[in-house]
Structure 1
């Protein structure tokens, strides 16, 4: 009789029905399984083809419904490009719809769905707040990525308007860039930097030398209307212009009628 191995209970459960699975569980399973024999049990065809790709370089993957084959290369291009990856994934969290997120990110819809099936499998649990918060927003593998965490948190809990504001400034925040406080864009980016810093403030956050900078931000804060309302107006106008230029059925279902009309 074989001895009980306590480590068996600590291994990740790689199954589509596991509500606390990692978003890239299929990819993780393939990586942990290669090389593998045909007697090894795998949840679905995608997992088998990912193992084949890692073992032999065969880039063609069979879809979940078995009706078509797609190349993994466009998906890896998104996964390996930080800006593209954060943009698409945060919009999925914000819009709660992969098709709308793909259209807003100018990613082919089918590519976005294929990407999510392998690297961001969250479509069936976007309503599960605790699962999204623990496994996506505060994912253990991205513990040190403050920008990702704050972007995903604001996208999921704030919705499309908040997400679009963060994405507008995403290339300029979290990279130790100097922001011009004489411009609206610079002040907005500094606001986001302060938002992130306030979550886990380091010693430099309380540096008295920075007080004049904070005071400049407060002095330039809109006097008549809250900052959040100004952001909402700005992003609403941008979204309205985009959806009017390229209206879609998905947009009409998800977005406010004034934006999607």
Structure 2
């Protein structure tokens, strides 16, 4: 009942492709890989992750094993079940995952300062070589590589210098702003005191003027002022 073409297509999807090229070998991987912040660091964590993805935990069968590897461009870590025979990796090589092709590829780690595998291992046992799982996604390199460490150190120095400059500039700006703030406060107090002083002087002068008018009115009412008497009401 099944279409022969469909059966052929399903068979082709299950074929494992091997491509030999020097120290590199690519193997077809299966299922959609998921991004993780870090890979399991030991056998127990690896087993727990395998259970979570429902990968095979058969100690005898080498197929459908859990894998967690850096992406080919070293920007992230990817985990997946590889339902074909786990490849054996020779010493001096780590492994990466080419997500677009769903294949596992070897990475020459001879430039590592330390941590490059010194013996052969199975791909699902890469947790025994943590340096193969430690990447700098920003620099897209393995942290164990000298060039990666130099780039990271350079960026760290630049960042520290920039932060130091910003802190110093901010400190100077704050000090300047504080001086301006105090100057504004002092000027405001001076102006306020001047205004209050001027008002007090005006108030005293005005009160004296009102009192003189009242006194003059009283003297007129009692007839105490002669015709020749003059009163200055200048204000």
TM-score range, shorter chain: under 0.3
**Structure with larger Rg:** 2
